[in-house]
A and B are shown apart, each in its own frame.
Chain A
């Protein structure tokens, strides 16, 4: 099959130039989808998810039983069900009981909840990896719980959690493609729309894949930079 495809391209110069033209003309709408939807959707969901994750992690670490329980059920429910099903419940399911949410907000809610659950485990582990003595030292010089958390524990925990959080972030970039199924016109949906008019599925989906890859490639470079920065003064 693959050979046939290539042979046809070589034997038929017209087709080759047609493919190049399609690739060029579709690049702009795809990048638009990425810039207007994929990237903002990722950033907003990740930010909200991270706040949710810190709160959830603190609830799970806390000694207050009801908080532990609520956080535990939340993490278990989100991790135990498929992301696509969650998105469908929010977008297609909730209108049944009168809650109608637009595609983009629906996607943001779904992705944030997801990041919140997965990242909370990362943050919980990172906070627990900071020696108890750091809390005690903070209290002994007169800090409150929130001061100790903000100024002593989280800065140190962030160093530990950057690599696993980057994993979550990169997964999220790719997971945003699922938003295409609840009518968000992000990059992958754009690719589907264009391909449905000219039937060049391989070309367009590959083009979309390459753009995802490039985004994730730059993200991992940024991850490296952040890690190096946080690692400056800390030897292992």
Chain B
């Protein structure tokens, strides 16, 4: 990292619009393209403070500030357009979380980087609707929260209740949600309303290590820990009546279920294995990066291809995982209300991935190009009429599910044409950390956090209460700030706001 005074650093940053900043070349060495990040006034302050702190003498260790990470990504071989920081951007391993970057597949030098996907491969959000309203649920809220907690295993080291053997796992890795369909855990419409139709076709379980499979097998159908959760939410605000109606959301007060989970230990192991391979490939192919954590390999190298195939298998794992939890949530509701899930209209509104790399077609400088788009802590947000979004959303644009932090609100946005042009059809993914996990643990008390939730009328079930401070709303940026920035910058459009009434957490 170049060591400069904070004031010197600022010369490389330029405010383009009230909601976006440019990172000029030279901010970090060897930048191939410029960087851009989207913030409003509040988020801007957080972003620049982080940089200022990093510039203070004696600041070593920990992750680089988010702006620096965005610029380092801009220096990777084969990157096209811009290295984009979304409003919820914060430092992560190599790539900042909330960073998207696209690489030209037809450029032999282009790379794929596990750091650009993240360790929780295909971590994502799924939203189910119901035809229930707040008044139907309030009297049985506690029972329902308990029932969900009983059905969905949570926490570090939790184990799923859907029996699986090694053969089932192999098939699930290859087939994704088609496996869940075949076994009858989900409905045909679920597949229709899922990114990629719930299956990455290039998945190859044989490229996945035995260790990853061993870690993954018992964890299928579990929520996990960290920022993952299942929430019962109520529609608080509808901004776009027509789009909400296409999603089956008619009125305020309607009840939804949000599931935020990923590929558990399986994805983590796939990423770890790949990083080891990539360090070797970097030496062999003389790939230079500004940061050791940006380990990568050429897309067309064996290591690159192996990673993409095993990443796809991990993505399929995550979809099966969310599908299994969909099945379990439907059961929990069906038991509580003594009605079939069908009659409760528990359809999947949509399912998004916010940690993934995908091959997509985009227009760059007026030309159509095939790109490998890395989205880490960033959600795909395709505009209306895009061929890859479900027919039901052809007129509204792809639904984008933004999970808030425990106890705060969540949003549904829709993709826009402007987002397609500016950010390769990407937008934010959630609140984004403001405090590190360690700092949250030091500064907050878990009893207080839990009591505050209760005070807000939220039923909460937690497997490991002592880790709850890490996920307290205070540890995160304000999700409303994040979403409003995306809306104001035009890269996606607000549609629905949801508020939790019950939370299940690891």
Do A and B share a complex? Answer: no
Which residues of A come within 8 Å of B, CB atoms?
none
